[in-house]
Structure 1
Amino acid sequence: MTMRTGAEYLESLRDGRNVFIDGERIEDVTKHPLTRGYAAQAARFYDLHHQPENEASLTFVDEDGTRRPIGWLYPRNQRDLERRRDYANQVIRSFGGGAFGRLPQSNNGNWYALVDDTAPWAELSKDTPATVDLARNIIADFEANRDADLWTVPLLNDVQRDRSDPSVAARNPMLRVKERNDEGIVVAGWKGVSTAVIFADTILLGNIVKPGTEPEHIIWASVPVNHPKVTHVGRRSNATPAESGFERPLSSLGDELDSMAYFDDVLIPWEHVYHLGNVDHSRLYAQRTFDFEHADTLHHMIVNAELMTGLAVLVAQTTGTLQHPVVGSDLADLVRFHETLRAFTIASEATAFVTPRGLCKPNNIFYDFGRAHYLENVGRLTEKLVEMCGRSAVLSPSEQDFEVPEIGTRLLEMFHGTTMSAHDKVRLFKFVQDRFLSDWAGRFRSFERFQGTPLFLIKLLTMQRISTDPGGSITELAREAIGLGTSDEMTARAVAERKELFGSVTPVATQPAPAQAAAANQGFSLDDKDQPDYIKTQDA
């Protein structure tokens, strides 16, 4: 099987997986009211690839002559990245205009950080039997998941815990290796949080190193979602299965659900283990694992910005304010927001680089900048959209109200617009309400902040990837404009002046710029004449 159908996907979910939501065990995620909606949406994702009109845009034929979803396309050049972007754009907008952030295409690229260079995972692993070929395991499991068109969801984050006291962190029951034996490793503890894992097939275990992380916590491996000793605890669902698509156009579709997982002495066979015990190695690879997922996040943001812009124009049209100068200014902000995000993703592809192993990666500096730009502006622009709606964003009649003999006609008269019927106008406002003001919308906002990476962390990652050496290229233009010369010449003048003023010279301690040190440790390299030297610190 290279491209499974929606029916095959739904049947695979009926496997006895251990799922609890709001204290209730979900016996079948394809049938329970809290989960069946999103399961159906994910099934529709698989079916999209079988529609003849989507063959060219959603599928490709690999070197072996096998047709696969473009989500599995291993990019070798810039054109491949553009195809993946066009693919993501079509998929994302097909589901409520970007209503779901974690469909399968956004996750499967997490394999690439391992597959691209298997040697370090194997060579730097700790306490691994010499007979176990970790590099082979990575390739074999990647190909098995790809060939069966499975959905792999990463579990790298740990459940939030108290970090104020190291002893508390040490006692925290995060996932750890309890035992190594001839069959594999036995692990126990918690992992979380991840989105849509209860609807997926495979868990890709890994780590984001934080204070309190010890070697026994470092586990890179894969486990079936339906493992009998793995229990998934999901948050309360915001799905509204009892509501009509008119009243709740998005939440009635389902809720992708975030969850955490408890591993109760789970045996992971050696053939599904990729790396163990090396905190330093894991620290370098956490963000790299998310490179393609973060690029997909920016694709989601672009679609959402387009959606917001279109909604704003429709609202302005139906309220008769399209020509109002203030509304025009707000619409210009939304258009600029959308086009700026597109520019970031195009820039990330135009300055992409190919690793020594042949994987073409989008320039993470630019898609990080794009995600930061989105997070800095989306709240303000959402408020502008809601303000355009006025009271209609929170007060509009139900579909049944239009059928009431005593008042239905009067409602039709009140909501009728020159270019939009009363029903269409109310549908527009109910969409805005469900997308931006409901409980479902509140979770979506939180998810965007999480999947986009907290803004402060994006800035921190940026500083790790940019050289801020005062003597480097980042200050070259400023030094030339002022006439300061080189960094050595500046230092020489400062030393001479200090000697003249104070009669002695105290050596000035020098340290490498933080970004340079980080770059040296992470093996960054890129030579691209089209961008400044100080951002030539890409993960190759």
Structure 2
Amino acid sequence: MTQAAKTGSDHLKALQDGRWISINGEVVSNHIEHPAFRAAVKTAADLYDFSSASPNLEKMTFRSPTSGRAVSRAWQLPTTYQELVERRQALEQIACNTSGWVGRTPDHVASTLSAMVMGIDLFERHGVKRASALQEYFTWARDNDIWAGYAIVPPQTDRQPPARQGDFINASVCDEDSEGITIKGARQLATGLPMAQELLLGAVQPLKPGDERASFTAMVPVNAKGVKLMSRKSYEQLAGSTFDYPLSSRFDENDTVVYCDEVKIPWDRVFVHNDIQMARAQWFDIPVMAYQNYPAQIRLSVKLRFLLGLAYRMAQENGLLALPPVMETLGQMAAEVNVVQGMITAMETNGVQYGKYFIPNSSIQYSAMVYSQSLYPAFIARMRELAGGSMLSLPSSVADFTSSATAEYVERTHGTAKRSAVDRVKLFNLGWDAIGSEFASRHAQYEIFYSGPAFGNRIRNYSAYDWGQATTLVDNFLSSYDGPAGPVLGA
């Protein structure tokens, strides 16, 4: 009998795994009920419930070729343009369910693993056993429709000498035997791990000779012995009410630093081992970097549409829509939203065959990453200009609406002839949480750096672009007329 699609209840059970996660000086015993994480965890469960509901099943899932189970289209390996579009429509719906505010939904690392499998020949050259481990893990992960996160960057303190001789700063192999490797040290920045079951540990930054111990890629359960998750401040926990912080209170996926305290990883979960060239090649010599950031652009397009709609509503509420400068600003923002959406369409229509698979155009994907890194802060700045002081004069909290001492005055000062104080404040609270709160500030930083530093993306875009199509135009034009020794045109 074919197993039913994964539900939110299934995911919650999987997250009750006894993992080690700390926040505010304590180790949390049951993070799915903790006020720092529970709303985000519920958001994760809701995504599975949506996908497994009968009306959404065909759009959101496909049948695993190994188990026959309905699993997320995030695990689908498209072989045609149509399959790529079907997959994108499912990922776009995932983004719509959070209005684009959860960056590391389960499709992100699923896309990473999918692209690795597309490039399985690279892993086979690295070693048949490592390729077999990758293929078997991918099959297991797909058939169980897991949610995975990753930590693939060394801690910034790795740039400094170790505090003590023999300290492991960047996570590295400290021991290995016939059963597997043992990892000690840290990796960052693991976004969304409170919502995830599995963790990919790898090295995306270049390694140099002598760094072989850090040149591994492996999957580990988040609750594995020795895995320590150290959470940043929880904006969810500080949000108070959904009315006051409608985004922070539900979509704070959280970021953690991962410390591996002698974590044993069996060989059947190790994909790269002791090879600094392979540690780099897995990201850039096969379409992993482009394919995993393609869903990120899909999510960003949804988020920008949401922000554009919010900017329009705030300007409308303030009676500004008829002003030419406001129309100009909103027109510019609408153009930018369309550019991001258009680049996604262009990635697909200009997609290429990669072996038997059909993948988005990598050059356009890298261009989209370069464009979006500078777009987001400018987009937010325009929203701030449109909002003006509207978000600075809000009541202190939802309690002001229920207190006998303040309720009447809140209505008098915030209500209008067309809109109640509750509805008006609700709108501008959303505006503040989107562009002014700590949650919003974290998102601004995230959108600029989640795909790496801008200079790196520009260099990758330089490498991916087909310069021949540009220089050929110039060369053909230069060859259309003679130099000083030749005849003068028009003579």
Normalised by the length of structure 2, the TM-score is 0.90
Matches within 5 A, 1:38-187: 38-63=40-65, 65-95=68-98, 97-125=99-127, 133-163=129-159, 173-187=169-183
Distance 2:244 2:119 in 1: 50
Unaligned runs of 5+ residues in structure 1 are: 126-131, 494-540
Matches within 5 A, 1:196-215: 196-212=192-208, 214-215=211-212
With over 3 angstroms needed to count, the CA separation of the structure-2 counterparts of 1:419 and 1:454, relative to structure 1, is farther
- The residue aligned with 2:35 is 33
2:442 aligned with 1:443: yes
Normalised by the length of structure 1, the TM-score is 0.82
SS of 1:321's partner is: coil
Distance 1:29 1:66 in 2: 29
Matches within 5 A, 1:140-539: 140-163=136-159, 173-212=169-208, 214-240=211-237, 243-287=240-284, 288-356=287-355, 358-397=356-395, 398-405=397-404, 408-417=407-416, 419-466=418-465, 468=467, 472-483=468-479
Q: Give the letter aligned to residue 265 of structure 2.
A: I
Kindly provide the CA deviation profile for residues 68-125 of structure 1, in whole angstroms up to 9, marking residues without a partner as x.
Answer: 2222222111112212221122111212x22211121222111123212323324325
With over 3 angstroms needed to count, the CA separation of the structure-2 counterparts of 1:11 and 1:484, relative to structure 1, is same
SS of 2:237's partner is: coil
Distance 1:145 1:211 in 2: 28
| TM-aligned CA deviation for residue 311 of structure 1 | 0.9
Distance 1:22 1:485 in 2: 72
| TM-aligned CA deviation for residue 220 of structure 1 | 1.7
> RMSD of the TM alignment (CA)?
2.7
SS of 2:156's partner is: coil
Q: Give the letter aligned to residue 240 of structure 1.
A: Q
Conserved? CA contact 1:19–1:25, under 8 Å: yes
| TM-aligned CA deviation for residue 307 of structure 1 | 1.0
Q: Which moved more, 1:193-202 or 1:319-328?
A: 193-202
Q: Give the letter aligned to residue 415 of structure 2.
A: H
Q: Which moved more, 1:188-197 or 1:341-350?
A: 188-197
Q: Which moved more, 1:27-36 or 1:199-208?
A: 199-208
| TM-aligned CA deviation for residue 340 of structure 1 | 0.5
SS of 2:6's partner is: coil
SS of 1:331's partner is: helix
Q: Give the letter aligned to residue 387 of structure 2.
A: C
Q: Which moved more, 1:287-296 or 1:34-43?
A: 287-296
SS of 1:429's partner is: helix
SS of 2:265's partner is: strand
Q: Give the letter aligned to residue 208 of structure 1.
A: V
Q: Give the letter aligned to residue 463 of structure 1.
A: Y
Q: Give the letter aligned to residue 390 of structure 2.
A: S
Distance 1:240 1:232 in 2: 17
- The residue aligned with 1:496 is none
Q: Give the letter aligned to residue 390 of structure 1.
A: G
Kindly provide the CA deviation profile for residues 405-453 of structure 1, in whole angstroms up to 9, marking residues without a partner as x.
Answer: 5653443244334543332111110001011111111111111122243
Paired residue total: 478
With over 3 angstroms needed to count, the CA separation of the structure-2 counterparts of 1:455 and 1:484, relative to structure 1, is farther
Unaligned runs of 5+ residues in structure 2 are: 487-491
With over 3 angstroms needed to count, the CA separation of the structure-2 counterparts of 1:453 and 1:275, relative to structure 1, is closer
- The residue aligned with 1:527 is none
Conserved? CA contact 1:318–1:417, under 8 Å: no
Distance 1:473 1:10 in 2: 51
| TM-aligned CA deviation for residue 21 of structure 1 | 1.8
SS of 2:225's partner is: coil
With over 3 angstroms needed to count, the CA separation of the structure-2 counterparts of 1:321 and 1:277, relative to structure 1, is same
SS of 1:187's partner is: strand
Q: Give the letter aligned to residue 6 of structure 1.
A: G
SS of 2:430's partner is: helix
Conserved? CA contact 1:393–1:429, under 8 Å: yes
Structure number with bigger Rg: 1
Distance 2:392 2:348 in 1: 41
Distance 2:401 2:416 in 1: 15
Distance 2:121 2:37 in 1: 40
With over 3 angstroms needed to count, the CA separation of the structure-2 counterparts of 1:241 and 1:6, relative to structure 1, is farther
With over 3 angstroms needed to count, the CA separation of the structure-2 counterparts of 1:30 and 1:241, relative to structure 1, is farther
| TM-aligned CA deviation for residue 19 of structure 1 | 0.9
| TM-aligned CA deviation for residue 22 of structure 1 | 3.0
Distance 1:485 1:19 in 2: 70
Conserved? CA contact 2:162–2:168, under 8 Å: no
Matches within 5 A, 1:7-22: 7-22=9-24
Q: Give the letter aligned to residue 229 of structure 1.
A: G
Q: Which moved more, 1:374-383 or 1:417-426?
A: 417-426
